[in-house]
Amino acid sequence: MRAYSLYLFRRLTQFVLVVFIGMNIAYAVTHSTPIDPVEQTISAATSFGSTSPDVIAKMRQSLRELYGLQGSPWQQYAAFWKRVAAGDFGPSLSAFPTPVSELIARAIPWTAGLLTVSTLLSWALGNLLGGLAGYYRQSSLLRVAGVVAMGLHPIPYYIVAFALLIVFGFVWPVLPITGGAEMNLAPGFGIAFVESVVVHSILPVASLVLVGLGGWFMGMRSLVSNIVSEDYVIYAELAGVDRRRILISYVMRNALVPQVTGLAMSLGAIFNGAIITEQVFGYPGIGSLLVGAVHAGDYSLLLGITAVSIVAVSAAVLLIDLLYPLLDPRVKIG
Amino acid sequence: MGPAGAEVVLTVERLQAYYQVSSFGIEREVRAVDGVSLTIRPSEIYGLAGESSCGKTTLVKAITAAIRPPLRVLGGSVTYRFRDRQVNLYDLDATSLAEIRWRHLSYIMQGSMSVLNPLRRVRSSFVDFAFHHIGKPMTKFIGIVEAHLERLHLEPSVLDAYPHELSGGMRQRVTIALATVCRPDFIAADEPTTALDVVVQKSVLAMIRETQRQIGASMMFVTHDMAVHANLSDRLGIMYAGRLVEEGTTAEVFRRPAHPYTAHLIASLPRIGDTEAREGLGGTPPSLADPPPGCRFHPRCPLAMDACRREIPEMAWISETHRVACFAAAGAAA
Amino acid sequence: MFKILRDLLRYNREFAAGVALLGVVILIGAASFFSPYPAADSFVVPPDLAPSWPHILGTTSRGQDVFWQLAFAIRNTLLFGFSVAILSRLISLVVGLVAGYASGIVDRVLMSITDSFIVIPLFPILVMFYFVMRERMSWAWLALAMAAFGWAYDARLIRSVALSLRTREFTQTSIFSGMSMRQILVEEHLPYVLPIVFSTTMNNINWSIGLEVTLSVLGFTNVDTPTIGMMIYWANQHTALVAGVWWWIAFPVALVVITFIGLFLLAVSMNEYIDPRSRLARMGE
């Protein structure tokens, strides 16, 4: 147990490091913008009539406070971290005065759902097919499946999503191509709403899975074909252990361990893919929010999304890291 | 002449097993086992000796049906006699083969450091390998396993350990216990003690001897270490360049080696009190992809005659239990 | 190294296919030097013409010949991908080799930083970068930004190669026989490191082109230079699909997909070549 505490500590330290580096990059990038968010808000607020200079001055003051642009660079930096810790990024410029955190909170469930479903699906399916392909090398069906999966893999998420959009939007319009659910349905766990959510997620999920499948397939297939020549597999075969049992308990089980590590390492890339795909299908998650923020020049929303993305992905990686020793008893947790 | 009226457990006849490799346009055939014939009797330990890459391991693979590409059996036969039935190893279908594996024929692999599934406890290997052979309910089965372990002076608690938690020697002992738990008729052991230090070697060898005596199995024990053969083997076979060149009782082979190669092998063993300088054998073992014509030893043999360069010497009996494949030796004994 | 490439070309189908595909792509890119129309000009030919002679791939709604635009686009896209790959190779090599050879605390620290860069989601940061730079965003800046993130994954791969080389017997032998570190690195180790650098370069080019296309399509890059992503961006701006001008989108997409698959095949076949166990397994089949 003590050994695990040490491991836990190391992983937490890594988590903190990642978040720290990421946040600093985000802060550095946003605070070198030539755009002054305060002036932008003021010009937007005063564009429909004239306002007295006193009122404008007061607005300027309070906005400066709200956007954390008070004081010296060091004070701003410290204030920034205080806000991050509290999860408060100020109001959104484009949807003023809605706080950024609220906008993000509304979008996150969509992205989280999309990500979880498509990641799990492509990981599980890719590993299963890849494992079978590595073990049953003669199967032509598996070989064809492999070629297809690997052919799609190098293509960027955007293009695959776009292609699906064209096919199902123009050529064979049987599936909805925008939105997270039907507009007129009340959100909740009612059957109609849930069904609508599922139908609307088919294309985004399919797009992500098609691209992701190939990577896991290739990795698993090569792992499995190496593992089958390992001593413990050969020995089990020599002992006449049932072939299916060997496949599951000896081969797959051992091959999945590095694949879990691979999952942790690819979460950043998968996240990228998800938010890009959302944009194509108008899916109301973080991705669409992000692109909208850029076009609207909404600096605080942008910063908020970036910060949340960094924390979310790092937390997911941390979670996987912590569960890893349960899978592999050999992990040197000391 | 030959061993008269003796029952045999294993009959190998003119076995040929080659590695057939083709890479980047080059084809190569390595004649690892080239026409070997021998028999093994019940409850006897047959030692197989010879230098590295003389084909010993390939022979063991061939008699335990552990052949996989690029290794192929091209000719000859391997026949076992278990209790009352006769089995031709290469005529069996997969199910029958799985049935005799472990129950009648087991194998202790070279480098048994990593033959246990690293992600599961030792217990699961016992269950996977032996449970369906023993055919008793699980609690009874575990009881049998624990009793077996105790008889071999192993703690039953070893069942709960993961392989990496055990020392090399411990793992080897567990593997021996695993290979003998079904009380097989024949055990093939390939260099089971080579990777261990001398002190552990001694206790593991003692364990092997005791186990063999307890269950009355026959054994083919392969090692290049002549001292081990002197200690353990009842009969001894010497292999050189893919062929069996001499065979006899251990005492005979050690005291009256007939083949010049054997003679040199025995002479090179250090003896207590002997202060003479040891002389190595000139030259190197032949390439098995392109072996010399006739007797494969002739390039290095001090007794080489004209016939040796042209014809392959067959095994000839020079006593009731001693045979040798050498024109010079056979001539001398005639 | 050349011997390796030659052998691969002769015996490995995937490698040969990759070279062929890439060859086609590069040829088209090279054709841009002979283009009768300057890249940035618009309305030089009648717009919205379907593929026919002399405009074999049709024309765009902005009055440009699709074929010649495509030639420029793929040239720029390839150049971009290539520069990012080179820049990030430099960083990966340095980090990977230093971590692999130095080991100990240096290794640990470098790996922690590398892992951080692997985990941080790049897209939001690149978007923010564009947001900040706006009109001042140039390809050079974007390339630098992407190289600053694209090195991490490959640094790990190179590190593991360096680690295994360091502990190999022949390294110790070389050290004992008096070879200098530089000699060892160049004469003994480089042949092992080069193939993996090659395959990671192919992957990296794919990755950076993919990201460029994505950013361009969303309009997050410099809109003046024609690249594959830009072509799709303009096509979208002119609602090409709805207007039925499908050739404006189809051909850039097709060409870039060919590029991706070609590079991918090269990387995969090189990887297979590197892995000795897969080679051994294939020998017996």
Per-residue pLDDT tens for B65-124? 888 878 888 888 899 888 778 888 888 888 888 888 888 889 888 766 788 998 999 999
Q: How far is B54 from chain C (nearest CA, A)?
A: 21
**Per-residue model confidence (pLDDT) at position C53:** 74
Higher pLDDT, A35 or A204: A204
pLDDT at position B330 over 60: yes
Cα dihedral across residues C199, C200, C205, C210: positive or negative: positive
- Residues in B touching A231 (Cβ below 8 Å): 109, 111-115
Q: How far is CA A259 from CA A135, A233, C96, C156, in A?
A: 16, 19, 22, 16
Q: What is the pLDDT of residue A283?
A: 87
- Residue in the block written with tokens 């608690």: B157
pLDDT exceeds 60 at position B299: yes
A226 neighbourhood in chain C, CB within 8 Å: 277-278
Give yes or no for C260 touching A (CB within 8 A): yes
Mean pLDDT of C97-115: 85
Partners of C282 on chain B (C-beta within 8 Å) are 23
Best A21, A29, A148, A157 residue to mutate vs chain C (most C CBs within 10 Å):
A29
Q: What is the pLDDT of residues B20-45, one digit of tens each?
A: 887 666 788 888 888 899 999 988 99
- Cβ-contact A159, A276 below 8 angstroms: no
Banded pLDDT at B46 (limits 50, 70, 90): very high
pLDDT in the model for residue B67: 84
**Average pLDDT score over residue span B148-169:** 88
Considering only residues C169 and A254, tell me which one the structure prediction assigns the higher pLDDT. Answer: A254
Assess whether pLDDT exceeds 80 at residue C134. no
Residue of B nearest to C8 (CA): B24
% of chain B with per-residue pLDDT over 70: 95
Residue B237 reports pLDDT greater than 90: yes
Min Cα separation C34/chain B (Å): 41
Q: pLDDT band at A177, cuts 50/70/90?
A: confident
- Which one of C269, C278, C282, C283 makes the best mutation probe of the B interface by having the most chain B beta carbons within 10 Å? C283
What was the pLDDT predicted at B167? 86
Condensed to tens digits (0 to 9), the pLDDT of residues B196-222 reads 888 888 888 888 888 888 888 999 999
Residues of chain B found within 8 Å of residue A259, distances taken between Cβ atoms: none
pLDDT higher than 90, residue C3: no
pLDDT for residue A246 is more than 80: yes
In this structure, of A10-14, B88-92, B262-266, B329-333, the range with the lowest mean pLDDT score is B329-333
d(CA C181, CA B25): 37
pLDDT tens track for A85-143: 787 777 777 776 788 888 888 888 889 888 999 999 999 999 999 999 888 888 888 88
Tens-digit pLDDT profile for residues A138-160: 888 888 888 888 888 888 888 88
Nearest to C284 among B24, B25, B69 (CB): B69
Structural tokens at position B263: 């003679």
> What residues of chain C lie within 8 A of the CB of A272, using their CB?
121-123
Closest residue in chain B to residue C273, using alpha carbons only: B24
Q: Residues of B near C (CB-CB distance < 8 A)?
A: 20-25, 69-71
Q: Assign 3-class secondary structure to C95-124.
A: HHHHHHHHCHHHHHHHHHHHHHHHHCCHHH
Assess whether pLDDT exceeds 70 at residue A67.
no
Confidence of residue B1 (pLDDT cuts 50, 70, 90): very low
| Mean residue pLDDT across chain A | 82
Q: Mark yes or no for CB contact C123/A14 under 8 Å.
A: no
CB spacing of A240 vs B164 below 8 angstroms = no
Query: C80 — contact with chain A (CB < 8 Å)?
Result: no
* Residue C224 pLDDT exceeds 80: no
The overall average pLDDT reported for chain B is 85
Residue A167 above 80 pLDDT? yes
Query: What pLDDT does residue C101 have?
Result: 77
The verdict on C173 touching A (C-beta cutoff 8 Å) is: no
Q: Is residue A333 predicted with pLDDT exceeding 60?
A: no
| Residues 6 or more apart in contact with residue A299 via CB below 8 angstroms | A30, A33, A35, A37, A93, C131
Q: A183-218: buried (b, 16+ CB within 10 Å) or exposed (e) per residue?
A: eeeeeeeeeeeeebbeebbebbbbbbbbbbbbbbbb
* Interface with C, mutate which of B20, B21, B23 (most C CBs under 10 A): B23
C-alpha C10/C-alpha B24 separation (Å) is 9
Per-residue pLDDT tens over the stretch C58-86? 777 777 888 888 888 888 888 889 999 99
| pLDDT for residue B4 is more than 60 | no
Q: How far is A264 from chain C (nearest CA, A)?
A: 8
The strand pair at B186-190 and B105-108 is best described as parallel
pLDDT-derived band of residue A193, with 50, 70 and 90 as boundaries? confident
Per-residue pLDDT band for C285 (boundaries 50, 70, 90) equals very low
How close is the nearest chain C Cα to the Cα of B287, in Å? 19
Q: What is the pLDDT of residue A68?
A: 64
* pLDDT given for residue A334 in this prediction: 39
The verdict on a CB contact (< 8 Å) between B23 and C283 is yes
A314 contacts on C by Cβ (under 8 Å): 119-120
Of B25, B69, B71, which is closest to C11 when you measure between CB atoms? B25
What's the rounded mean pLDDT across residues B299-324? 85
To the nearest 10°, the Cα dihedral for C62, C64, C67, C69?
Answer: -80
pLDDT at residue A48 above 70?
Answer: no
| Calpha distance C89→B227 (Å, rounded) | 56
Task: Return the residue in B128, B129, B175 with the most chain A beta carbons within 10 A, the one to mutate for interface testing.
Answer: B128
Cα gap B83→B106, rounded to integer Å: 15
Chain segment C175-196, per-residue pLDDT in tens: 777 777 667 767 777 777 788 8
Percent of chain C with pLDDT over 90: 2
CB-based contact B114 A231, cutoff 8 Å: yes
Asked if A310 contacts A19 with a C-beta cutoff of 8 angstroms, the reply is yes
In this prediction, residues C229-254 reach a mean pLDDT of 81
Quote the percentage of chain B above a pLDDT of 90: 17
Closest chain B C-alpha to A208 CA, distance in angstroms: 32
Inter-chain touch B23–C285, beta carbons under 8 Å? no
Mean pLDDT for all residues in chain C: 81
Beta carbons of A272 and C256 less than 8 Å apart: no
Mean pLDDT for C7-11 is 74
Nearest to A33 among C116, C131, C232 (CB): C131
Interface mutation vs chain C, best among A35, A294, A319, most C CBs within 10 Å? A294
**Considering only A6-10, A50-54, A221-225, which range has the smallest mean pLDDT?**
A50-54
Which pLDDT score, from 0 to 100, does residue B2 have? Answer: 42
